[in-house]
A and B are shown apart, each in its own frame.
Chain A
Amino acid sequence: MNIILTIFYILIDIIIVVLPLFLIVAYTTYSERKIIGFMQSRLGPTRVGPFGFLQPIADVIKLLTKEIIIPSNANKGLFLTAPIIMLVPSLLVWSVIPLSEYFVIANINAGLLFILALTSLSVYGVILAGWASNSKYAFLGSMRSAAQIIAYEIAMGFALVGVLMAAGSLNLQEIILSQRGGIFNWYWLPLLPLFVIYLIAGIAETNRAPFDVSEGESEIVAGFHVEYSGVAFAMFFLAEYMNLILISILVSIMFFGGWLSPFENTFLENYLSWIPGFAWLSIKTLFFIFIFLWLRATLPRYRYDQIMRLGWKIFLPITIIWIFLEGIMIYYKIEPWFIA
């Protein structure tokens, strides 16, 4: 009886997080099309509902009712598991994200490591999708993506090592709490190079423009998911947007104080204390999602060898040097970040 109750509570927690997440993903695609449309002097979707507001719902219905076509020479089992392998880690990471000062599904001690480990798993979905569909375009896309993800994962990991050193903890709530005391106490300032590298590597990890060589439509049609249709394609799509939101929320947690109010220690602190932490986290996350969309509308695609050069020869040395400098800052207890 006890087990059933435990599982029931866990299920309720999961539903509280996952259902709104799916809705947010749907409206991220809508806002992406609208925002990029306005940036490029277009209107974006306008037909379904007022201002095209029901467009994502129509898209979901379309994707759910379409047929899944399996190529005749594809490896059927792996072809159908690849989207699941892609989706599951990006859903699983949300279990350790602190959404407010009170709500987190699992407040585990090694939260930062858990996130690093799970985000490194999604590459399997890409590789297997490319290999199992038995298509040259898909295979090229997955090869490119695998090399790119490995290259940027290292820089990303080192950027998080900087956060870990500053906070002195792997627990995400403690990382947020150690940034208390207003906007200049957040880690973006002492860890500015690491923050920029984490942001850029995050875009590269999620295979989004300008690093979208793995699905560069002008070169290799649609890359690793060229053979997918219907629900299977929708799962790749869902995973990509979920990772986009995840990277935005992680940047706000690691470098921008998570659910902390930006007006701490100012005259506004008492007037704005009624705003819940979740609202601050949402504002910060939406801001970074907007930056990702803005970059996609603005920048042309990187050349493949330049992506590799940026990852290995520029980002990796910068992160190592900054971790060394951060060690010196911690040793001399530079205020106000490294007091302990």
Chain B
Amino acid sequence: MNLEIIIFYIFSLLLLSSSIAVIMVNNPVKSAISLVLSFFSSAVLWLLLNAEFLSIILILVYVGAVMVLFLFVVMMLDINISRTEEGFVKYLPIGIIVFATIAGLLSYFFYNQFDNAGDSIITSIDLIGKDNTKNLGYLLYTEYLLAFEIAAIILLLGIISAITLTHKKSETNKYQNPGDQVNVSKNARLKIISDEDRAR
């Protein structure tokens, strides 16, 4: 037994249990934390496959940014816990169908494609050396440049549409104008009354 196998078993066990905890725990904050844990353990599993760039990006983007915002929103919500438990039986048939479909597809993939996977997938991206990050960057900016740029534009569209949907200038909102604040002078705020003025 080498160290990698031990790490693999620990983190795959952690991945499975935390993913189950996401749907079984009734406190929404705890279930968001379990999701963070499952992202983290899958990042470790990717690291074992020498995919260091993908695994670190998974932590950086999903754990470090997306889930923080998610947690941010979940904490603000005041969810009635008994009501969230009600839907469990109601949605169970749909859940079973989705589960059966994905499990079927995955087992089909493993039975038919697993022999070809193994080495070939990992070595096929050894283009300019062993460094996974460099190889990935090289591929993205040469062979898959068009797909990469299209993905970037789609993300930009997503950002712009999200901002236009939420950013409505309302009359009740109050804004500070930093330019005015910087340019304010003593005369605009203070009026010096001399003793002579007071005497009158």
Chain A: residues with CB nearer than 8 A to chain B?
2-3, 6-7, 75, 78, 108-110, 113-114, 116-118, 120-121, 123-124, 127-128, 131, 139, 143, 146, 150, 153, 170, 305-306, 309
Contact = CB atoms under 8 A, between A and B. Distances in A.
27 contacts: A2-B2, A75-B27, A78-B33, A108-B52, A109-B52, A109-B131, A109-B132, A109-B133, A110-B133, A113-B53, A116-B64, A117-B57, A117-B60, A120-B60, A120-B63, A121-B64, A123-B64, A123-B68, A124-B68, A127-B68, A127-B75, A131-B29, A150-B68, A150-B69, A153-B65, A170-B133, A305-B176
A6 B68 contact: no
Contact of B30 (A78, A124, A170, A306): A78
Nearest to A109: B131
The secondary structure that dominates the B interface is: helix
Interface in B12-41: 27, 29-30, 33, 36
B71 interface: yes
B44 interface: no
B118 interface: no
Contacts of B65: 120, 150, 153
A221 B51 CA distance: 45
Nearest to A120: B64
Give 7 closest A-B pairs by Cβ, nearest first. Answer: A120-B64, A117-B60, A117-B59, A113-B56, A117-B56, A110-B52, A131-B75
B101 to A, nearest CB: 33
A31 to B, nearest CB: 31
Contacts of B106: none
Interface residues of B, number: 28
B3 interface: yes
Given A3-B6, A120-B68, 13 more contacts: A2-B2, A75-B27, A78-B29, A109-B131, A110-B52, A110-B56, A110-B132, A110-B133, A113-B53, A113-B60, A117-B57, A120-B63, A124-B36
Given A78-B29, A117-B60, A124-B36, A3 B68 contact: no
Contacts of A128: 33
A93 to B, nearest CB: 13
A121 B27 CA distance: 22
A3 B64 CA distance: 32
Contacts of A3: 1-3, 6
Nearest to B133: A110
B40 to A, nearest CB: 9
Contacts of A108: 52
A18 B132 CA distance: 30
B99 interface: no
